[in-house]
Amino acid sequence: MKPANQKIRNRIMEQCPWAKGHKIEQVESPVDTVEIYVVRRKDGDNTYFVKYKTYLSSCFASVDWRLDDF
């Protein structure tokens, strides 16, 4: 995983203001056309975002799901 660039961080924080101050990383995507980002919280309540072209959407968040589950 690598840190998300500032442009993506800003777009994510617009959608989820609570993400400010948390680690936002880019996850290795299984396909070239989609980028996946995660806002990682210490309590494990991670939120995942999918970016396709210019569209950025929160896809799921759960205290029961961890990045290693995928």
pLDDT tens profile 14-66: 988 888 999 999 988 888 898 999 998 887 778 889 899 888 887 765 555 55
Give the C-alpha separation, 52 to 67, whole Å.
Answer: 20
Instruction: State pLDDT tens for residues 9-18.
Output: 999 999 888 8
CA distances from 6 to 10, 29, 63 (A): 6, 19, 26
User: How buried is residue 67: exposed, middle or buried, by Cβ count under 10 Å (0-12/13-18/19+)?
Assistant: middle
